[in-house]
Amino acid sequence: MTITTQELSISNPWRSVGVWMATLLALSQLANAIRAVLNPAGFASNLGLPLEVQADAGFVFVYALRATFLGLFALFLIARREFAVLKWFALLAVLMPLGDFVLTCRAGAPPGTVARHAGYVAYILVTAGLLHRQLSTR
């Protein structure tokens, strides 16, 4: 199967709202990873899943690894101008904030925290939609 480069590229990616949104999301994931490593208990509380005991901090480090991978892989795709793959990556990655949303709902997190996770889901879906639209107009 041959796919032409024209249908998979954005002429000037820095004029693309979708690329900027993906870049900001990738950088926020890296910032979250740093915050999680530096202050696991504080980050867990901010996430809406406070630690029962400090020994439970392992899950926060798992989150940090996940966030690091997501951020670096998204930046890699942006640097390589793989915007079609980035769109699909965003659509698949939306499962993680959706899971965070469900977990925080079940844990009885404050409404603002639950809403923040729902906002991430919406942000990622809008980003993927903009990337799709920008790719299909080329």
User: Tell me: the pLDDT tens digits for 57-106?
Assistant: 999 999 999 999 999 999 999 999 999 999 999 999 999 999 999 999 99
Mean pLDDT, to the nearest integer, of 14-22?
90
Q: Tell whether 23 is covered by a domain.
A: yes
**107 located within any domain:** yes
Reported as a pLDDT band with limits 50, 70 and 90, residue 14 is confident
Tell me if 46 is assigned to some domain. Answer: yes
Give the integer Cα–Cα distance in Å for 49 and 39: 14
Cα 96 off chain centre by = 8
Report pTM: 0.85
Provide the number of structural domains found in the chain.
1
Residue 1 lies in a domain: no
Q: pLDDT band for position 7 (50/70/90)? A: very low
Burial of 7 (0-12, 13-18, 19+ CB in 10 A): exposed
Q: What is the pLDDT of residue 138?
A: 61
Q: Which domain holds residue 127?
A: 6-136
Length of the chain (residues): 138
